Amino acid sequence: MFYNHGSIKIGLDIRYNRPFIYKNCSKRLLMTFIEFKKQLLDAEISLPKFSKLIKVSEKNIQAYKKKGEVPNTIATIVTCFAAMHESGLDYRTVINDLGLEAKVKKGAGFAKKTKSDSVINK
């Protein structure tokens, strides 16, 4: 059963009794931000802890709320976390063992001044 709205198709996945959305009639399945939040609940992790665990800024993840959908990589990660949690696996330990590092912005904003900079400028 499909609901057509322009270039968007909405249907019901009978296997999981969950809605799915095809955008631009492509085969790409989108996860809405609401579905993302439900998956976080299933994984029993808060959004701040999720962002800290995968080393992505919470601000970046919150920005997906405005867009209404989350990227495939974030959708895949949260779905795996929920499935692992449901199976009794500790995904937190697995991810922590990866030793992920947060990316640092380069060249954006103002550089922090050091003491040597302030002595030179005087």
- CA 30 – CA 32 distance, rounded (Å): 6
- Exposure string (b/e) for 23-43, b if CB count within 10 Å is 16 or more? eeeeeeebbbbebbeebbeeb
**Mean pLDDT, contiguous 10-residue spans, the chain (122 residues):** 46 54 54 91 95 93 91 88 90 91 73 60 56
- Domain membership of residue 9 (yes or no) is no
- Note the pLDDT of residue 26: 47
pLDDT at position 104 is 79
**90 domain residue, yes or no:** yes
Q: Which domain holds residue 54?
A: 31-103
Total structural domains within the chain: 1
Asked whether residue 111 is domain-assigned, the answer is no
Indicate whether 14 belongs to any domain.
no
- pLDDT score for 76: 87
